[in-house]
Amino acid sequence: MCVNNNFVESHAYQMYEEIKKSSLFKVVRVEGIRGTYLDPEKLKEQLNCKELIANIVLEDNYKNCYVVNPDPFGYRFAKGEISYKEYNKMQKMDDFKWICYSLLGMGFLSIMLYFLIRFLY
């Protein structure tokens, strides 16, 4: 038995438990980061130190399936606070935000490196 101490892994599992507990939908399947499919009933035993929950597949009463991430946006969708369209829009905006932060950080470091090289040599 492996003890899970990684913050990201424990946060993903905690969000999965919250989604499972308060969801309006039925949890059909849990997908791991490596493309493995995990059984929701035996999830605790199937997770090992290297596995991370990537997606949760939810099913409504009309047999429509929805794939959500174990994050606050997925939690809000599972509770019924937002629609799936809004969920996808929020995910895209969050991804765009992190890409912009990364580009700004790299640009700042590049400018600092340029001035450091220019003024020292």
Q: Same structural domain for residues 88 and 69?
A: no
Q: Same structural domain for residues 63 and 102?
A: no
Q: Same structural domain for residues 48 and 91?
A: no
- Two tokens at 6? 């990684």
How confident is the model at residue 34, as a pLDDT? 79
How confident is the model at residue 69, as a pLDDT? 93
In this structure, are residues 41 and 59 in contact, taking their beta carbons and an 8 Å threshold? no
CA 50 to chain centre: 16
Q: Same structural domain for residues 96 and 110?
A: yes
How confident is the model at residue 6, as a pLDDT? 72
Q: Same structural domain for residues 104 and 77?
A: no
How confident is the model at residue 1, as a pLDDT? 45
In this structure, the dihedral spanned by the alpha carbons of residues 81, 77, 8 and 102, taken in order and rounded to 10 degrees, is -90
Q: What is the mean pLDDT of each run of 10 residues along the chain (121 residues)?
A: 63 88 91 78 61 88 94 94 96 96 98 94 81
**What's the predicted TM-score (pTM) here?**
0.78
